[in-house]
Structure 1
């Protein structure tokens, strides 16, 4: 599976600051939040589902993977999504290992596995 997704018992609004806090514990910061619902409505499209994309980065890890392979820049920053599916709030991300595997580089796969483990830990703290 290319993603890791968990159900959480909080609202989208409650989940985001908790996720940011968990990410800080792993030295990841949120660079940007993109509220898809708000942006689509701003552009005149009716859209009621709550979707917030967080672009997250750990500068040390970004430097390590970029020094190994410039094509990794296509995957950066890491994305995490908090959204509502029916009555359930979900938090998920594309797995770094799934992305890194496409580059067929053993060192990158190891780095991706470490990053993935840390990001999953952040998500699991919320569940």
Structure 2
């Protein structure tokens, strides 16, 4: 699987707020909390349910990636999605280890694994 996704019975808003705290514990900052569902509604393209996208960054890890391979910035910042589907709230992300494979530079794999471990833990601690 290219992603890590889990579901919970909590609301999207509750998970987003918990994620912000658990991400901080993992040395990630939230750069942007984008309410996609509201934006689409404003554009006349409403969707069922809530959908938030959080763009998050660990500056030290980001620097290591773009210093080693500038195109690694294509995958930055990391994105987490929190949305409703089939009556439940889902929270997930594309796995950094899968994304970084596209660059074909083994030196970046350990950085991606550390980022993935931290983000997975933040997600798990939010649900």
Normalising by structure 2, we get a TM-score of 0.96
Report Cα offsets for 1:17-69 as digits up to 9, x if no partner: 10010000011010001111111111112322211000000111111111010
Structure 1 residue ranges without an equivalent (≥5): none
Moved beyond 4 Å, runs of 4+ = none
The unaligned stretches of length 5 or more in structure 2 are: none
**Correspondence 1:93 to 2:89:** no
Quick one: distance in 2 between partners of 1:9 and 1:126? 12
In the other structure, the counterpart of 1:11 is 11
The alpha carbon displacement at 1:107 in A equals 1.1
Secondary structure of the 1:67 match is helix
TM-score, length of structure 1 as denominator length: 0.96
Q: How many residues align?
A: 127
Q: Distance in 1 between matches of 2:55 and 2:63?
A: 16
Distance in 2, Cα, partners of 1:7 & 1:47: 19
CA RMSD after TM alignment? 0.9
- Structure 2 match to 1:105: 105
